[in-house]
Amino acid sequence: MATIIYTHTDEAPLLATYSFLPIIQAYAAKAGVEVETRDISLSGRILAAFDLADDALAELGDLATRPEANIIKLPNISASVPQLKAAIKELQEKGHALPDYPENPTTDEERDVRARYDKVKGSAVNPVLREGNSDRRAPAAVKGYAKKYPHRMGAWSSDSKTSVATMGKDDFRANEQSVVIPEADTLTIVLKAADGTETVLKDGLAVEAGEVVDATFMDVAALRRFLTEQIARAKADDVLFSLHMKATMMKVSDPIIFGHAVQAFFPALFEQYGEQLAAAGVSPNDGLGGLLSAVKDLPEGEAIEAAVKQGLAEGPRMAMVDDRKGITNLHVPSDVIIDASMPAMIRIGGHMWGPDGKEADCLAVIPDSSYAGVYSAVIEDCKKNGAYDPATMGSVPNVGLMARKAEEYGSHDKTFEIPTAGTVEIRNAAGEVLTSHQVSEGDIWRACQTKDEPIRDWVKLAVTRARASSTPAVFWLDETRAHDANLIEKVKAYLPEHDTEGLTIEIMAPAEACAFSVERIRKGEDTISVTGNVLRDYNTDLFPILEVGTSAKMLSIVPLMNGGGLFETGAGGSAPKHVQQLLEENYLRWDSLGEFFALAASFEHLAGYADNRGAQVLADTLDAATATFLEEDKSPTRKIGGIDNRGSHFYLAMYWAQELAKQTADPALAEVFAPLAEKLAAAEDTIVAELNGVQGHPADVGGYYRPVDEKADAVMRPSATLNEALAAF
């Protein structure tokens, strides 16, 4: 049988899988398609790191390099340290023999443990699987639905005090150096101290001919001055202070920056109790929540809690993650992720939630200036022209350079908090210095790589998409930034390899490109954003959230460079809140529309690769069923009492069976599905009543990071009638 791999991941997407996967497997089997699972969840990766489970991620990473690859990748946790610790604790409580996470390893054994855990945290999955570049856009059915039934947008005022603050100097953007490697080589990263002693930070760094290698650093003294100034500015302007970082994917650099923000907001606290906190193993990088939890057992615990309250009272009002529970913007580094938080703020009129439970203008603090101008451009446009109208606005699909750990997201193993002042150099095998930076103790230095073959493929994909959709394409590249300047040269060299006659393809700096795109959006016009890896991540949340209300409904295809296909199902930024609601009310609001689109694209890809007519029929009928699903508005309702994720799966299953029963491309398959279509339609009221009847009470799935299958199955498949129909089928 032809095979599709459906990934077993985390949080709401995982819970939805318990409900949806049995439907997928039952339908696919009738067309000779086997749908298998592989566990790449955070808990699964932790267990694999200590040889307590199969390393499914490594297996899929190998598969992604082969032409038969067909992988449906659901959102997974990109773990911050607090999330990692919580997952370890849950697994330990379930009886798994795992060591604690060592904060400050001192022995070889502890260093080995820490290295294993470090490979699990942050963006550990995507760089392994993404052996291709990204093609992400809103499907026509989703865009049509959004225009017909536009989601609510908050009103913007021309006198809004909301704005973006960024360093603009002494940051990663300002300090960047970039080189193109002329031939295959092996590089070494060395810290040369003032006294001449040298420390190898990383060696054996293999690079290919044509590869772009960048190095940069953030001046932490300048960062601290900047943060202190913005805290004072937010107080003076009487706006909410909000920090926007990517502490999950930028798993080394951004938690450190986050920790500096915590210290800058509570200077008196750390001046008075910093030594005691450090001695107790409390790191500001873990956030205010970790600090408050840890100090309960300290002799100075009450005094430290009082100092926190005093700091909150004396500082500016802080943006809140959950004002009802007192969870602030600085509580947990993974709570406020820039690509989800900034679009949500823009969507509701430039507001975030304050400690009083009300919306208010805010100062959005984005320390590094590499991409801050993109958000500033949108905010200034909204101040001038008001909120966007989903009923009329155009679209900004994305072609993203991400293959083979391209750009900043490939920097994790080359990011260092500098232990002593000196010079950091990248040297080639001949000992020649390629990049050099004067750094101080505590500065954050990083290097990243972008291989030539992915760049060539990226340019090709951009031209292909521009041609297929007859849409202008803009490369978001800044000629005044070192890395971008090298990419611009490559783009100019590779574009002539393709037929671009009649196409509009331009190169603009990110803020300029954004302003150009939103101007076209207001005219109802589409513009493809062709971006690097970080901007791919930002844009594929920013524009979908404004256009269709969520990035979870996007079609995300990764044509793998060796011929396979990776099909991603949308973003998971709101997944934790959805899980919390399920546990409290047995109601899962997660929308699986992204899974529907990815599955149809996966079937279509498989049909071509394996010459499987049945797979093509599944793809075509699933697309038709999804269109009916949208037209009939069967996505999860906003409030308890209506259908949730489980009900939406039932309706998709019923519409899909009906489409299969009436299609003529494969009469035998139609005959197989006709009885099921009739059975589901006849039992619709009963099934919906069974699914909705469980709502309103707490649910137990046996664990947050690693649910117990039997319990999760029971919670996510509560309709005996539907279960029996599928089993009989």
pLDDT of residue 26: 97
- Rounded to an integer, what distance in angstroms lies between the CA atom of residue 606 and that of residue 34? 11
- Last-in-domain residue among 385, 410, 440: 385
- Rounded to an integer, what distance in angstroms lies between the CA atom of residue 520 and that of residue 526? 7
Q: Which of 103, 106, 222, 214 is nearest to 169 (CA)?
A: 222
Mean pLDDT of 356-360: 95
pLDDT in tens, 489-534: 999 999 999 999 999 999 999 999 999 999 999 999 999 999 999 9
Task: Please report where in the chains the tokens 């002593």 appear, as a residue.
Answer: 420
151 or 230: which leads in pLDDT: 230
Q: How confident is the model at residue 250 (pLDDT cuts 50, 70, 90)?
A: confident
Domain residue limits at 634: 1-78+124-131+560-729
∠ CA 126-130-135, nearest 5°, is: 110
Task: At 285, list the tokens.
Answer: 């990088």
DSSP for 476-530, please give it.
E--TTSHHHHHHHHHHHHHGGGS--TT--EEEE-HHHHHHHHHHHHHTT---EEE
- Rounded to an integer, what distance in angstroms lies between the CA atom of residue 16 and that of residue 716? 7
DSSP for 641-702, please give it.
TB--HHHHHHHHHHHHHHHHHH-SS-HHHHHHHHHHHHHHHHTHHHHHHHHHTTTTS----S
Task: At 7, list the tokens.
Answer: 């990934």
Task: Please report where in the chains the tokens 């509560």 appear, as a residue.
Answer: 718
Q: How confident is the model at residue 1 (pLDDT cuts 50, 70, 90)?
A: low
Q: Which of 429, 512, 427, 502 is nearest to 192 (CA)?
A: 427
Q: How confident is the model at residue 112 (pLDDT cuts 50, 70, 90)?
A: very high
pLDDT in tens, 566-589: 999 876 656 788 999 999 999 999
For the cut 70, the answer to whether the pLDDT of residue 303 exceeds it is yes
- Last-in-domain residue among 370, 385, 400: 385
pLDDT of residue 73: 95
308 or 570: which leads in pLDDT: 308
Mean pLDDT of 188-216: 96
174 or 149: which leads in pLDDT: 174
pLDDT of residue 639: 84
Contact 585, 696 (CB under 8 A): yes
Greatest extent of the chain over all pairs of C-alpha atoms, in Å? 82
Residue 19 lies in a domain: yes
551 or 357: which leads in pLDDT: 357
Of the candidate ranges 13-17, 90-94, 248-252, 412-416, the one whose mean pLDDT is the lowest: 248-252
- Last-in-domain residue among 369, 385, 401: 385
Residue 210 lies in a domain: no
- Rounded to an integer, what distance in angstroms lies between the CA atom of residue 28 and that of residue 51? 33
Domain tally, the chain? 2
Average predicted confidence (pLDDT) for the chain: 94
- Dihedral angle at the C-alpha atoms of 584, 586, 587, 592, nearest 10 degrees? 120
Task: At 398, list the tokens.
Answer: 């994305």
Of the candidate ranges 142-151, 395-404, 583-592, 643-652, the one whose mean pLDDT is the lowest: 142-151
How many other C-beta atoms lie within 10 A of the C-beta of residue 153? 19
User: Which residues in 6-30 are b (16+ Cβ under 10 Å) and which e?
Assistant: bbbbbbbbbbbbbbbbbbbbbbbeb
Contact 570, 545 (CB under 8 A): no
Task: At 263, list the tokens.
Answer: 């210290």
Residue 696 lies in a domain: yes
Q: Which residues contact 145 (CB under 8 A, 6 or more apart)?
A: 548, 630, 631
pLDDT in tens, 41-99: 999 999 999 999 999 999 999 999 999 999 999 999 888 888 999 999 999 999 999 99
- Rounded to an integer, what distance in angstroms lies between the CA atom of residue 346 and that of residue 359? 12
pLDDT of residue 256: 96
For the cut 70, the answer to whether the pLDDT of residue 167 exceeds it is yes
Mean pLDDT of 322-349: 92
Helices and strands, number each (H, E), in the chain: 26, 24
pLDDT of residue 613: 92
Task: At 413, list the tokens.
Answer: 């193993």
pLDDT of residue 295: 84
Residue 390 lies in a domain: no
User: 530 forms bridges with which residues in the sheet?
Assistant: 399, 475
pLDDT of residue 239: 98
pLDDT in tens, 361-402: 999 999 999 999 999 999 999 999 999 999 999 999 999 999
Residue 32 lies in a domain: yes
Angle between helices 720-728 and 684-692 (to 10 degrees): 130
pLDDT of residue 574: 60
Q: Which of 33, 8, 69 is nearest to 557 (CA)?
A: 69
Mean pLDDT of 208-231: 98
∠ CA 551-705-700, nearest 5°, is: 100
- Rounded to an integer, what distance in angstroms lies between the CA atom of residue 319 and that of residue 330? 9
For the cut 90, the answer to whether the pLDDT of residue 728 exceeds it is yes
Instruction: Fill in the DSSP letter of residue 189.
Output: E
Instruction: Fill in the DSSP letter of residue 715.
Output: H
Residue 577 lies in a domain: yes
The SS3 call for residue 229 is: helix
- Rounded to an integer, what distance in angstroms lies between the CA atom of residue 216 and that of residue 175? 5
Residue 307 lies in a domain: yes
The CB-side HSE value for 477 (13 A sphere, CA atoms) comes to: 25
How many other C-beta atoms lie within 10 A of the C-beta of residue 622? 26
Backbone angles phi, psi at 418, to 5 degrees: -65, 125
pLDDT of residue 573: 57
Task: At 94, list the tokens.
Answer: 């379930």
The SS3 call for residue 352 is: strand
pLDDT of residue 123: 78
Residue 475 lies in a domain: no
pLDDT in tens, 707-721: 999 999 999 999 999
pLDDT of residue 142: 87
